[in-house]
Structure 1
């Protein structure tokens, strides 16, 4: 496994913020919303450029996924979602509806790191 399981979500969020992924998004009423601009997005409007899965250090059932996203309007940011027992099923369903063609690993810092 890659080193990401030993890292905290905030470590990678900081790295991606330094790379320009500075927008924060929240989920509300079936849409992903940019917390600052209030632009609303549906699954077809979202491009996942990387994802990182985490397990809790003290509780393996404390799991989350960090999505690195870009929107159809060019907004770049992150979205942290719980999964496993803590998953919000409505949010999980939204991310499952993102078209496969909109998902890549092009910005995955672990896979694109030549020192790994």
Structure 2
């Protein structure tokens, strides 16, 4: 899908949802948890297949990153995280623990 009109995180999330990345997740006690299925994942169970960083248009310190993820149980979804001074350290720590071998850019819509 052509994303040249995508302006912010919500626009990118919609594009990824159309590509099948529909699961939503949260981090709790060092685990990534699917909001619907309640399946829990350790960092080694998660694959980042794209990431997109954003700065706020009115305030550049409003920064976020959209992770496009797949799991070892074939769940596909997105996770939007603040980064920079407003980052949740527990969430950032989880994503930092994902093995480098599990990180690619194969699904990045900005290629």
Same fold (TM over 0.5): yes
SS in 2 for 1:90: helix
The offset of 1:12, in angstroms, is 0.3
After TM superposition, list the pairs within 5 Å mapping 1:10-89 onto structure 2: 10-89=10-89
CA deviations on 1:40-86 (whole Å, 9 max, x unpaired) are 00100000000000000000000000000000100000000000011
Distance 2:101 2:41 in 1: 17
Q: CA RMSD in A?
A: 1.4
Distance 1:80 1:31 in 2: 16
The offset of 1:96, in angstroms, is 0.5
The structure 1 segments of at least 4 consecutive aligned residues displaced by more than 4 Å after TM superposition are: none
Aligned residues: 108
The offset of 1:94, in angstroms, is 0.7
TM-score (norm 1): 0.90
The offset of 1:7, in angstroms, is 1.9
SS in 2 for 1:69: strand
Q: Which structure 2 segments of 5+ residues have no match?
A: none
